[in-house]
A and B are shown apart, each in its own frame.
Chain A
């Protein structure tokens, strides 16, 4: 049986989280009453004109920088003509041949793959190449109901980035990892909230299948209506199978657009190539082309460390495992939280703090279905706690108890240790008294120890511990006993 090669390219639309819309001062928002966030411009009223939103341009350029794109010296705006009721002007103002960003790529890191696929990553360290990122305006929303179609133009004019990948993706799992990684980068950059449920991130998939050895790509089939990253994976699996079977049967696939039905787990034909639009792109005469040099200069210092770079740095600087670095950098706020905890006292080993963050803090937050920003445990407080463990002030078991309390009350570790009377006695003067007491009360045990029974030491340590009310530092104590018995 011949092998088949799958070629996938993704077109991702990401809404920018700017204060105002792309071409008018209306606020960008979610959940407002229909048609309350509109003006003559975003309603396409006769005579209204667009004005560029500089914040949107800067955010797009910043996203491009994070993704390693280049920005051409001049970028311009074009009209894409098609009639649709949710499009107020019946043309979309977008960018055709001079987009804001070119090239670049999205790194696929192990943790970005679906959990069940992380063990069998085919192309570790792969970077999916990007073709371009351009900026355009979002359309309104139509809702169909018994009484007709309702149109809400609140969303119309929201700045929208279209991020187009090269046909560089080989599998559903890579597409999944691409979206997870891209979303993370967009959130890191603070350019988009990238919530697929809210439609802030939308994805169309271009997919083709061809027998191994065939040079030219198979017919490009576009998938639409993919409402989650998991759905993208499912749809690609289904479509690869469907197309491969068709090709094996000797069927000739035709360029077309298909709609994914997530409930039925299958794609349905929406339109074939013959129905393809002629968008009649031409330069928008209402908007002047922009020179990007000054924008690039302004944005450059604002580019945050990419998740990719942060992961590498965490492994290097904090000696954490690749996995832990992945977890800690999965969220920009978490990474910052961790780094704040480490920085609070550099003497406390970062790796230990990482363990506490990943195993205790995240676990507890997860159990409580709470978010990091609501955590009562503050970074400095965690550092203090770990410092107490490291110095032997409290035991690991005690520390966990203390952490529980910190998590629920927000008190500091030191206060809780005091309150619980966990403070270990490391003061040799105080401990010596207890030791002498136990030694003089048990001459026969001393004799046994001297005869070579090392186990007796444990028994005697227990006795001293009991005498100290459990507060003796076990490490200090056993050293002290050993010295006294020698």
Chain B
């Protein structure tokens, strides 16, 4: 059995007993990638040699010692590509520095291995917006893996990676994790350094792990969180040992079900799976309560004003002058800008830059941007109120199962609506976890369903505790495509 199918926890045991070496894991992964990546398309590039070199001097006494971790292609690793799934950075860009999260992972002994495909600049929820290749859902190759961290989730779900880093702006870790049958965690805003994460929407972006189990997520999180002096929005708080909450019972834990989330539009199979999960949690001693998040209906609109506004400025630096795609034979500098950006960016990125530029324009700023900021405050207050009554909020991760590739290519709104449950935690800066909770059968294929737990700010410990308790009481996470 290939080591690629294993979890961090199981590999750690075998590494420490010297039964295997880090290089064995890298080699098995390289083999799995060679075999499956041409179909799955999870990776855009893999530098096996570099990973083997790091494996050779891996310190397995470290908590993540010798464990390879796939990296979403928008997180800078010195000397590696960082394409962001875009033609803009595909041709000639090599990272000249390490992201804060990569430094943290390395401090824990992990080995960054492979660059995972993604929607261009993390804009999308299907990975179809990647300009550099198609990623397929390991459970059904006709379907999307979700996005924007689709490559990361497909790699973990398809056993082409042990674990992966993704980034989550409105669900980009949790939704693909749900679609690929993985665990996905978006930490509290500010708990993981954004330094070196190519910004999409700076006030919403957060890096987090995609893993095969909740315990693995806790292990990786231990070596992601922490203050980074180079990120002013990173929080100066001590990092607990998140694995300490693993295995604790959830008796008496209060779980809230937002009434606004369980209305029409949820796929029947998903609804059934989630209600089954609620029963399961009740049987574990959790207390289920109905709660209200009254401003849920404005979440998507708020997000699609604020995120593009920030993105429109964040992506201005891609102009063909200093790096990235540069148009040939421009007549002047304006022509260089326009051609380089027209050629370098794909349609979804252009759509969002236009949207963002529009909502920031003089005369529209108050009507859109300021109003959206107010709505964001209201959404945040909804959660604050709700968390006075409950410890955890539960919902489906996505209201619908993964689409077929190309199914909604010309309907961006259909994609946008699929983010209804994942966006509010980003707007409120809260941690959220997606855990497998069953399957729906579509066209003869079993497709994974994800259960989303939303926690209080900085209370990842409770999220991991409830996630682990639920996971271990089911067998969903053990199924392989």
Binding site for B on A (CB under 8 A): 40-41, 43-52, 79, 81, 83, 85, 88-91, 149, 151, 278, 280-282, 285-288
Contact = CB atoms under 8 A, between A and B. Distances in A.
A46 B202 contact: no
A48 B229 CA distance: 12
B232 A45 contact: no
B397 interface: no
With most chain B CB atoms within 10 A of its CB, the pick from A41, A46, A79, A88 is A46
Given A81-B360, A287-B232, 6 more contacts: A45-B97, A46-B84, A47-B197, A280-B361, A281-B360, A286-B233
Contacts of A90: 316-317, 319
B321 A282 contact: no
Interface in B189-205: 194-199, 201-203
Contacts of B201: 285
- The size bracket of the interface on B is 35 or more
B82 interface: yes
Interface of B: 74-76, 82, 84, 89, 93, 96-97, 99, 194-199, 201-203, 229-233, 309-310, 312-313, 316-319, 321-323, 333-334, 337, 357, 360-362, 365, 369
Nearest to B358: A280
B229 A47 contact: no
Interface centre among B96, B199, B317 (most CB of A within 10 A): B317
Given A45-B96, A280-B362, A286-B202, A91 B232 contact: no
Contact of B316 (A50, A51, A83, A288): A83
B75 to A, nearest CB: 8
Contacts of A40: 96-97
A83 B337 CA distance: 9
B362 A278 contact: yes
B323 to A, nearest CB: 7
B229 A81 contact: no
Nearest to B205: A285
A88 B333 CA distance: 14
Contacts of B82: 46-47
The 4 A-B pairs of least Cβ separation, nearest first, read A90-B316, A285-B202, A285-B203, A280-B360
Contact of B232 (A47, A50, A79, A280): A50
B329 to A, nearest CB: 13
A151 B74 CA distance: 27
A79 B313 contact: yes
Given A43-B322, A46-B82, A282 B230 contact: no
Nearest to B228: A49
A47 B333 CA distance: 24
A120 to B, nearest CB: 44
Between A49, A51, A79, A288, the greatest number of chain B beta carbons within 10 A of the residue's beta carbon is seen for A49
A49 B194 contact: yes
A48 B322 CA distance: 15
Given A40-B96, A282-B365, A288-B232, A47 B198 contact: yes
Contacts of B199: 46-47, 49, 286
Contacts of A149: 333
Contacts of B365: 280, 282
B75, B322, B333, B365: most-surrounded residue (chain A CB, <10 A): B322
A46 B322 contact: no
Contacts of B232: 49-52, 286-288
